[in-house]
Chains A and B, each alone.
Chain A
Amino acid sequence: MGLLGSVTVTVFRPDPDTPGEFVNGRWVVPDRINLEITATIEPLNDDKQIQRLERRTGQTITGGIVVFTEAAIYSVNPATKTPGDWIEWQGITYEIVDVGTFDDTSMGYAEACAIRLEPQP
């Protein structure tokens, strides 16, 4: 079953086969692999959710989206510090910081929060 209002978006995922390495003491992330997924995108405008994400990420969030999708999608893993997927939507790149199940249904959709990577206006 498809998602209402779904669009095709590009996901940039850290390549699990080529982990990063330290070069001169700095962590160098390898190129990401590109994937296309179908998702429904909504703006991130729930104040409580934004506050929760700000506490988690330590960033002030002024630009974010919520991604509903049936595809596998990954957030930052705090335990291993593996970076999360990036998702490009309308020419802006966001980083997935939180993934959960979509509470209102039991259809296995993922509900992921993503915050804007570029300097925010």
Chain B
Amino acid sequence: MTQEEIDDIEAIVCDWIIAASGLDNQRVIMSHQDCPDPQGVYITLELMQTGDTLGMFPEQFINPDTGVAYESGHWRFEGTIDAYRAGAYGLLTSTRSKLLLPSFYKTLNNAGLSAHLGEAESTPNLLNRQWEQHASMLIIMHYVANPVEDSGDIGYFEHVGVTIDADHDIDTTI
């Protein structure tokens, strides 16, 4: 997976969180950056690629109807979504409940992405002898390259000749 593809995925996930959280695009950011802190409450996203082409999915497969080879694959990302400052836990809880609504989640599916979210947890930080509100939840994502058709069920993608259960983890969440 190229850096450009990863950047695209990050942008899609950021937009997904922006829509669900109601924050502007200056307050939903990738973590671990050399940058000024955003104003007010804000959300950070950390995604790390932890697997690719899981097991049975090769990087390339052939359309049985046409014989054309397709570059494809199945990638897994893990990470956290964190909220900071006053109202962090409430923001993350409400954001989590919206993220998995079909109206928001569909934007991920259309891009070949699916997600499993953990529970939001309040984990305040002690900074400069003061407690900073902080909430965190885990996120596991699957990305399927070249999805050719969304089967209509959230979380399932059809490739050419292959139907992929891209997010078996999500069944209990939705």
B-binding residues in A (CB < 8 A): 19-27, 80-83
Contacts and interface: CB of A to CB of B under 8 A. Distances in A.
B45 to A, nearest CB: 6
B110 interface: no
A24 B16 CA distance: 11
Interface of B: 7, 10-11, 14, 25-26, 28-30, 33-38, 45
Contacts of A24: 7, 10-11, 14, 25
A22 B35 contact: yes
Contacts of A19: 36
Contacts of A83: 34
Nearest to A20: B35
Contacts, number: 41
Contacts of A81: 34-37
The 3 closest A-B pairs by CB, nearest first: A27-B35, A24-B11, A25-B14
Nearest to A27: B35
A27 B28 contact: no
13 contacts: A20-B36, A22-B28, A22-B38, A24-B14, A25-B14, A25-B28, A25-B45, A26-B7, A26-B29, A26-B30, A81-B34, A81-B37, A82-B36
Given A19-B36, A26-B30, A27-B36, 11 more contacts: A20-B36, A22-B25, A23-B25, A24-B11, A25-B10, A27-B29, A27-B33, A27-B35, A81-B35, A81-B37, A82-B36
User: By CB atoms of chain B within 10 A, which of A21, A27, A80, A82 has the most?
Assistant: A27
